[in-house]
Amino acid sequence: MLLQNVVIITNQASTMGGAEKVACRCAILMAERGFNTYLFAGTGPVSPELVQSGVHVTCLEGEYTAASGRNKIAAAAQGFWNARAGRELSRLLAGLDPASTVVNLHSWTHTMSSSILESVRCAGFPLLITAHDYFLACPNGGFYNYVDWKPCELRECGRECRRINCDKRSFAQKKYRVARFDVQTRILRKMQPMPGIIFLSRFSENVLRESIPFTFSSYRVDNPIEADWDTTVCNPDYDERPIDMLYVGRIDPEKDCALFCRVAKAVGGRAVAVGDGSQECELARKYPCVEFVGRKSASEVRNYYKQAKCLVFSSSWYETQGLVLREAQITGSVPCALRGGTAGEDSVRDGLDGIVVPHDDENALIAAAKKIIKRETNDQMRSAIADQDFTLYRPETFAVQMIQIYQDFLATRGDN
């Protein structure tokens, strides 16, 4: 049977950022193309765009994270097994035909728990999971040690992983995450037809493929990029770019904005950090050479791209796609000084439109930034970026690819 219904599950019914933004954008694109589209979210606010596009929205209005609940025990219990989320999803699925429906899970750990996986399994619906993070193979979702602030080299949740405290909060929280991970894994191993996973980059696929503890089919897609697609790639002249180095992202330890600040201090020139987070005030005090402008709207961020000579990508965790890099290229032809060892490597052609340096070589990152902001190198790299074909990242292209994935997955469900 042909695809008729798409059910998209995400933590939040908002286009504010991250996986949730992509999930909502996907729902809108499917509804615009005539599919009966349902968005099932743990919490609001509900984006007006969803309502206007005709997406059927179910929003549980829960707490965004277990930690945000006033009653910590009740919140932890809900994070482990959110019975209400499971019941509500079962009620939604009961009105749909598994033979013509695909369920696409984008995010769930913050608001809904594995109860929704069990609802999908019991109802016999085909489940596609878009891997925006590493929760399918790692209890803390990042293959990252948040105590030592460095990537984790372990590739399975085995004995060694379980005895290491890598959690942001405590070892008790790590044990809680492991228990939740075990429940998730048991359900996914029993799911028939077997689930499919949509990977967002070659890098994240390579990290996850060797680590996921259940059988799955795989697909690849590039997330859509927010850009002024009706205009050509903006490429202001060198002298029209007053910002020498730009940082865009959360200002939290794993993103390592502190490294960006050290690079900015060593290189000199005007440096701007766009974003907010737990380290913003501390770094602003310590590095007066950097302008911290806070979180900005998508259109405001695009303006910063157009003013920058170099984007410094300093993140120390693996990322899964690194959309900031593509946004900078598409919006403003901005070359990048890239810290290696993340999915960002998929977006930069080393030496052509940016420079990739070893993950732990701060001096090399400083040297790369110095080289990129020089006029001759900058002009060459911006020209290389402007000559690229970025149509792959248009929302229309993304919609075509997702429909094909949905239809292919639905067609093969009887073979599992």
Q: Which of 50, 45, 191 lies closest to 116, judged by CA?
A: 191
What is the third-level CATH fold of 238-390? Rossmann fold (3.40.50)
How high is the pLDDT of residue 343?
Answer: 79
Residue linked to tokens 């954008």: 25
* pLDDT tens, residue by residue, 53-110: 999 999 997 554 444 455 677 777 888 899 999 999 999 999 999 999 999 999 998 8
Helix (H, G, I), strand (E, B) or coil at 309: strand
Contacts of 282 (CB under 8 A, 6+ apart): none
Q: Are 123 and 191 in contact (CB under 8 A)?
A: no
Output the pTM of the full model: 0.90
Nearest-angstrom CA–CA distance, 156 and 402: 29
What is the third-level CATH fold of 5-224+394-415? Rossmann fold (3.40.50)
Helix (H, G, I), strand (E, B) or coil at 88: helix
Taking 3-state DSSP, the helix, strand and coil percentages for the chain, each rounded to the nearest 5, stand at 45, 20, 40
Q: Are 316 and 142 in contact (CB under 8 A)?
A: no
Query: H helices of 239-391, where?
Result: 257-267, 280-286, 298-307, 323-332, 362-372, 375-386
Q: Which of 117, 115, 141 lies closest to 127, judged by CA?
A: 117
How high is the pLDDT of residue 264?
Answer: 98
Contacts of 150 (CB under 8 A, 6+ apart): 144, 316
| Phi, psi for 64 (deg, rounded to 5) | -70, -40
Domain boundaries, the chain: 5-224+394-415, 238-390
Pairing of strands 56-59, 336-339: unpaired
How high is the pLDDT of residue 66?
Answer: 46
Do 5-224+394-415 and 238-390 show the same overall fold? yes
Nearest-angstrom CA–CA distance, 198 and 327: 21
What one-letter code names the amino acid at 298? A
* pLDDT tens, residue by residue, 215-270: 999 999 998 887 888 777 789 999 999 999 999 999 999 999 999 999 999 999 99
Which tokens in the block code for residue 218? 């795989």
Nearest-angstrom CA–CA distance, 97 and 79: 29
How high is the pLDDT of residue 64?
Answer: 46
Nearest-angstrom CA–CA distance, 295 and 327: 16
Q: Please tell me what DSSP assigns to residue 242.
A: -
Q: Are 341 and 318 in contact (CB under 8 A)?
A: yes
Neighbours of 228 (CB within 10 A): 12
What 2-5 contacts at long range (C-beta under 8 Å, 24+ apart), as own/partner pairs, is 2/100, 2/407, 3/35, 3/100, 3/101, 3/102, 3/403, 3/406, 3/407, 3/410, 4/35, 4/36, 4/97, 4/100, 4/101, 5/35, 5/36, 5/37, 5/38, 5/96, 5/97, 5/100, 5/101, 5/102
Regions of the chain with pLDDT less than 50: 64-68
Nearest-angstrom CA–CA distance, 182 and 123: 21
| Phi, psi for 384 (deg, rounded to 5) | -65, -40
Q: Are 55 and 87 in contact (CB under 8 A)?
A: no
Nearest-angstrom CA–CA distance, 226 and 306: 14
Burial 236-248 (b: 16+ CB within 10 A, else e): eeeeebebbbbbb
Helix (H, G, I), strand (E, B) or coil at 86: helix
Q: Are 272 and 251 in contact (CB under 8 A)?
A: no
